[in-house]
Chain A
């Protein structure tokens, strides 16, 4: 039988190293224009990639996820706050899944 605490220690160590290395080592502002632009676009692309189609797959009914996506996007477009958009998405899923 392997030791579970050792698994925890290993996964924790690897997880932290991945995160701390760039933050600790890249101390200066990157001047290369392409690299700068790349890092500028990374957040939008990565968050978008993770949102869809995951939001539709996370719910029990795909329709609920799709409607949450539409409602959340619309509210965010109109300047809704982080909290408001999150709550509306949850609410839409809850109501739609009650109905279907």
Chain B
């Protein structure tokens, strides 16, 4: 059992690449925020309280289109619905006796990346690991948005392009090692790649957030029915 301090430090370490990637993504988000009439401060607060690239992008484009408050509320719900699934999965990763205050704090920054590293934590998740990752990732996210509004397109496009794949690199580092150990997970990853590619081609009308959640539910459910996880072994092979 590692101490909270060790876990926090490990979280900070794993949060570094997230912070770099966040800065780049948030920077481009800031440009969209500026077009929607947000000040640098407003855009940063939006980022620090929403923690969602697709969701925030949807808000910025709706606001610039003059949408009403209800529309923004519904769109935020749809664009961020996948975090509901991630929080469900995280609820099983925490020890059942985890106090409510930790649950509420962990919930604050459930993003694709923070979720990814948290779920990859060996065994039960120590919330302090997540706090460590968030403590560096969140400032990167907020500052990136701030400078995106303030500095516009000062960062060369080539640099933004390179930094933006860092997040996907992290996803690979999370899904590939378990896929190497389990054929079911390897097949699932490949099926997910293919399905995501095809859905992107054919279902252009659906927003990416909706696509992600629909594919996740269908593929995971099919896998759960076809390859149920051994109840006794779940703990050992948990991601």
Contacts and interface: CB of A to CB of B under 8 A. Distances in A.
Given A8-B45, A26-B91, A82-B14, A69 B168 contact: yes
| 7 tightest Cβ-Cβ pairs between the two chains A and B | A89-B169, A12-B49, A76-B176, A48-B192, A37-B224, A85-B173, A20-B107
B76 interface: yes
Interface residues of B, number: 103
A35 B217 CA distance: 11
Contacts of A50: 112, 168, 171, 196, 212
A45 B223 contact: yes
A79 B167 CA distance: 17
Interface of A: 2, 4-8, 10-12, 14-16, 18-30, 33-55, 58-60, 64-65, 68-69, 72-73, 75-77, 79-91, 93-94, 97-98
Given A12-B49, A49-B215, A87-B166, A23 B220 contact: no
A8 B36 CA distance: 12
B23 to A, nearest CB: 12
Interface in B188-205: 188-189, 192-193, 195-197, 200
B171 A51 contact: yes
